């Protein structure tokens, strides 16, 4: 199987302020182009695109293609589970929404120090084992956002898990908080199939500072900026699949163009990406990937990732004349969402954040900047 997977996480929408308004017609075109180029792997979860990812997948993929034409991965997200008995109903509901009789891969979503105890409490690993035994899932595993010691604990305590889905990209590879390299090495040590998420870090490694783009274009003028990030992850030994949360037809066309006949990075290209990573680090104030896990349970409906993006743009451009423009965007967003200063500091957003950001502190900074 070709290594590029279609992540149904950042689908195109008709209203930028409402991620549930999926553009179904465009999504169908994207799926068709992806499939026509010889790719077949799809990844979804119930919470993606404000719970519209699975319905979109049924409309664009499972109702239009034979079951043996694609590989489908779904996940159980423990935010939705209140007691052990909820899990089977949640799973069967996912099968129905997706329009399939089984999942090729079924993962426990977002394992780490915060959510692993819940998986133990609800005996979720036993549950997905049973789904495999009953034929509803061919392979099982978990996605992981956490520290290497917790990953090793899970793999020691759950040795039959087949798949580990990790956040890996060249910016996080040696990051002191994410520690991608260490997590990757542990997964490989235990002989697991490694699937990669966030290879472009939610678009961060596409929207690079000018200096970084110039370095990449000097090395290969024809290669897209995104291609460097995806190829970095795909070049790692033991990586079976690299997911890309594609939002436009152009992204599908670009990604499939260089991943059809994949060429691993050379030693020189990896060294170049180390330089690019350093440039990005010095130009990014808040390392948000726009996954929006923080917003799903926000009591004040604060548009956290959008506010962080405005703040990062302001800091990246280092242009005081740009401030007025960003304030206008901020005020427009607050007409439909809570302001940064509305934060009640409950901490649920930080509990759900895969990047382990100090969101409450950053919201104070955003409020001081834009309000």
Q: Is the pLDDT of residue 329 over 80?
A: no
Q: Is the dihedral of CA 311, 313, 315, 321 positive or negative?
A: negative
Residue 326 has pLDDT above 80, yes or no: no
Residue 224 to residue 212: CA distance in whole angstroms:
13
What local confidence, expressed as pLDDT, does residue 318 receive? 59
342 three-state secondary structure:
helix
Q: Calculate the CA 69 to chain-centre distance.
A: 24
Q: Which of 58-62, 149-153, 289-293 has the lowest mean pLDDT?
A: 289-293
- Residue 157's pLDDT is 98
Q: Which pLDDT band, with edges at 50, 70 and 90, does 322 fall under?
A: low
pLDDT digits (tens, 9 = 90+) for 349-361: 999 998 889 999 9
Per-residue pLDDT band at 203 (split at 50, 70, 90) = confident
Name the region of 339 (left: φ>0; alpha: ψ -120 to 50; beta: rest): beta
Which position has the token pair 């979109």?
Answer: 56
pLDDT digits (tens, 9 = 90+) for 96-121: 999 999 999 999 999 998 899 999 99
> What's the pLDDT score for residue 335?
86
Lowest mean pLDDT among 18-22, 126-130, 200-204, 320-324: 320-324
- Determine the average pLDDT of the residues in 291-302: 93
Q: How confident is the prediction for the chain on average, in pLDDT?
A: 94
Query: Which backbone phi and psi does 18 adopt, to 5 degrees?
Result: -140, 100
- The model's pLDDT over 271-281, given as tens digits with 9 standing for 90+, comes to 999 999 999 88
pLDDT of res. 178: 80
Cα–Cα distances (Å) from 184 to 232, 239, 329, in that order, read: 13, 9, 39
Where is pLDDT greater, at 19 or 248?
248
Distance CA 202, CA 206 (A): 9
Residues 54, 43: Cα–Cα separation, whole Å: 10
**Residue 202: what pLDDT?**
86
The pLDDT assigned to 177 comes to 72
* Ordered structural domains, the chain, with CATH: 4-281 (3.20.20.100), 293-370 (no CATH)
Q: Report pLDDT digits (tens) over 308-320.
A: 988 887 776 655 5
Per residue in 154-165, pLDDT (tens digit) is 999 999 999 999
Please name which of 171, 187, 277 lies closest in space to residue 239, comparing C-alpha atoms. Answer: 187
Query: What is the mean pLDDT of the segment spanning 266-291?
Result: 92
Q: What are phi and psi of 5, to 5 degrees?
A: -105, 150
């Amino acid at each position: 199987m070709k290594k590029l997977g279609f992540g149904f996480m950042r689908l195109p929408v008709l209203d930028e302020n409402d991620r549930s308004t999926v553009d179904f017609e465009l999504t169908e075109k994207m799926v068709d182009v992806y499939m026509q180029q010889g790719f077949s792997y799809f990844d979804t979860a119930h919470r993606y695109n404000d719970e519209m990812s699975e319905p979109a997948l049924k409309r664009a993929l499972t109702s239009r293609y034979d079951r043996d034409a694609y590989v489908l991965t779904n996940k159980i997200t423990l935010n939705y589970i209140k007691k052990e008995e909820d899990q089977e109903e949640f799973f069967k509901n996912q099968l129905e929404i997706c329009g399939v009789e089984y999942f090729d891969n079924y993962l426990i979503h977002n394992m780490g120090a915060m959510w692993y105890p819940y998986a133990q409490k609800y005996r979720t690993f036993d549950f997905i084992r049973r789904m495999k035994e009953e034929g509803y899932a061919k392979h099982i595993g978990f996605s992981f956002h956490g520290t290497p010691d917790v990953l090793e604990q899970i793999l020691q305590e759950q040795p039959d898990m087949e798949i580990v889905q990790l956040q890996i990209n060249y910016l996080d590879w040696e990051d002191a908080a994410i520690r991608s390299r260490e997590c990757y090495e542990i997964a490989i040590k235990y002989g697991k199939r490694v699937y990669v998420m966030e290879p472009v870090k939610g678009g961060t490694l596409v929207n690079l500072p000018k200096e970084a783009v110039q370095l990449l274009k000097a090395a290969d003028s024809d290669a897209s900026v995104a291609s460097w990030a995806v190829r970095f992850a795909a070049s790692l030994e033991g990586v079976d699949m690299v997911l890309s949360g594609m939002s436009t037809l152009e992204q599908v066309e670009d990604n499939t163009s260089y991943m059809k006949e994949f060429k691993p990075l050379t030693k020189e290209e990896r060294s170049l990406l180390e330089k690019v990573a350093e440039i990005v680090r010095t130009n990014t104030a808040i390392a948000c990937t726009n996954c929006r896990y923080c917003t799903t349970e926000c009591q004040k409906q604060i548009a956290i990732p959008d506010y962080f993006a405005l703040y990062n743009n302001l800091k990246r451009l280092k242009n005081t004349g740009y401030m007025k423009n960003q304030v206008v965007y901020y005020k427009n967003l607050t007409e439909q969402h809570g302001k940064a200063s509305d934060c009640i500091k409950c901490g649920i957003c930080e509990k759900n954040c895969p990047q382990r950001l100090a969101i409450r502190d950053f919201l104070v900074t955003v409020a001081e900047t834009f309000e």
